[in-house]
Structure 1
Amino acid sequence: MAKQLYDYWFVQFDFPDENGRPYKSSGGKMVWNEKLKRDIPISWETKLIDDVAEIYNGATPSTMNELNYGGDIVWVTPKDLSDQKQKFVYKGERNISQVGYDSCSTHLLPLNTILMSSRAPIGLLAIAKTELCTNQGFKSFVPKSGNTTIYLYYYLQHHIRQIEQLGTGTTFKEVSREDILKFPMLKPSDNVLDLWEEMVSALNDRQLEIQKENESLTKQRDELLPLLMNGQVSVNSDLSRD
């Protein structure tokens, strides 16, 4: 539903106007934007990604030193996003230690950072729901304003094909931090972004709850299934005690 709302508001430009009517469909004034090569609402502007978010690279502690791993710092790789296939991320397959963190150039990223895999493959996206760091396979976006987090997530998702085309390399393609910094971004007016963030935040909170509930149920299933198959427990085990 959030994605449909994004398309309606920020692709078709039928966000609510000051009278609550669909902006473009109700005759809202549009103006040609040379950078985006399209008409946009007159009060909106274009920025660079650099204007709206800080972008960080990640890094990997040496795997030769076992003290670098097994700590309490969440560390995420593109494989984690590929395996989890979720909108939100708050854990990876392996944590790193403070020793590991200090040994490399990764960054501890705040809640609501947007992670985008920048190689192998380009374009996996997730929103961080805890402090975490990443390996070098990411470009991570820390929004400079609280009302752009969810908008930026969907903006990147909507333009991921153009971002992929920025990738260069012979062994595998990678999008550089410098290219991402210069990527153009449509910046809606703050009142529209505030309303959007207010509406979609409730949806996101519920999606996160459902994601955690599903993961908990999956964990229980994976723990119980081998016991059932081995006969260590049965479906009617509780009834047999009566």
Structure 2
Amino acid sequence: MAKQLYDYWFVQFDFPDENGKPYKSSGGKMVWDKRLKREIPLLWKAKMVEEVADVYNGATPSTVNELNYGGDIVWITPKDLSDQKQKFVYQGERNISQVGYDSCSTHLLPSNTILMSSRAPIGLLAIAKTELCTNQGFKSFVSKSKNIATYLYYYLQYHITQIEQLGTGTTFKEVSREDILKFPMLKPSDNVLDLWEEIVSALNDRQLEIQKENENLIKQRNELLPLLMNGQVSVNYDLADD
């Protein structure tokens, strides 16, 4: 639903105007923007990513030192996003320790950071739902204002093909931080972003609850299935004494 709403508001430009009517369809004023090479709603602006978000690289602690791993700092790799295939991320396959964190140039990122894999592959996206850090396979976006984080997630998703085309390299393609910082984006007016954030944050909260419930059910299934297979537990265990 949020993706459809994004398309309706920010691609077709039929967000609610001051009278609650679809903006463009109701004759809302559009102006030509030279940077984006398209018409955009009046009072909206063309920006670069660096104007709306801070962008961070990640890093990997040495795997030779076992003390770098097994701590309580959540550490995400592109494989975690590929395996989980979820909109939200709050845990990875491995945690790192404070020693590991201090040993490399990764950054501790706040909740609601947008993670985008920037190599092998380019374009996996997720919204962080806890403090975490990443390996070097990411460019992570920390929004400069609260009302733009979720919009930025969908903006990147919508333009992921253009972002992939920025990738360079011989062994595998990678998108550089410098190219990401200069990537153009459309910045809606704050009143529209505030309304968008209010609506979509409620949807996201419910989606996150469902994601966690599903993951707990899968975990229980994976723990019980081997016990059922080797006879350690029975489906009718509670009826055995009847």
TM-score range, shorter chain: over 0.9
Higher alpha-carbon deviation: 140-149 or 232-241:
232-241
Q: Give the aligned partner of residue 160 of structure 1.
A: 160
Q: Give the aligned partner of residue 74 of structure 1.
A: 74
CA distance in 1, matches of 2:89, 2:53: 19
Deviation string 1:62-104 (CA, Å, 9 cap, x unpaired) is 0000000000000000000000000000000000000000000
Q: Give the aligned partner of residue 139 of structure 1.
A: 139
CA distance in 2, matches of 1:25, 1:82: 39
CA distance in 1, matches of 2:240, 2:209: 35
User: SS state of the match for residue 215, structure 2?
Assistant: helix
CA distance in 1, matches of 2:43, 2:24: 13
Matched letter for residue 59 of structure 1: A
Deviation string 1:1-36 (CA, Å, 9 cap, x unpaired) is 000000000000000000000000101011111111
Correspondence list, 1:80-99, <5 A: 80-99=80-99
Q: Give the aligned partner of residue 5 of structure 2.
A: 5
Unaligned ranges ≥5, structure 2: none
Correspondence list, 1:216-235, <5 A: 216-235=216-235
Higher alpha-carbon deviation: 175-184 or 37-46:
37-46
Unaligned ranges ≥5, structure 1: none
CA distance in 2, matches of 1:74, 1:65: 18
User: SS state of the match for residue 167, structure 2?
Assistant: coil
**1:150 and 2:122 correspond:** no
Correspondence list, 1:45-60, <5 A: 45-60=45-60
Deviation string 1:82-137 (CA, Å, 9 cap, x unpaired) is 00000000000000000000000000000100000000000000000000000000
User: SS state of the match for residue 235, structure 1?
Assistant: coil
Matched letter for residue 220 of structure 1: Q
Matched letter for residue 139 of structure 1: K
CA distance in 1, matches of 2:115, 2:97: 21
Matched letter for residue 200 of structure 1: V
CA distance in 2, matches of 1:235, 1:35: 64
Aligned sequence identity (%):
86
CA distance in 2, matches of 1:84, 1:238: 34
User: SS state of the match for residue 3, structure 2?
Assistant: helix
User: SS state of the match for residue 120, structure 1?
Assistant: coil
Q: Give the aligned partner of residue 190 of structure 2.
A: 190
Matched letter for residue 2 of structure 2: A
Q: Give the aligned partner of residue 16 of structure 1.
A: 16
User: SS state of the match for residue 241, structure 1?
Assistant: coil
Correspondence list, 1:32-43, <5 A: 32-43=32-43
CA distance in 2, matches of 1:46, 1:95: 39
Q: 1:241 Cα shift?
A: 3.0
How many residues align? The count is 242
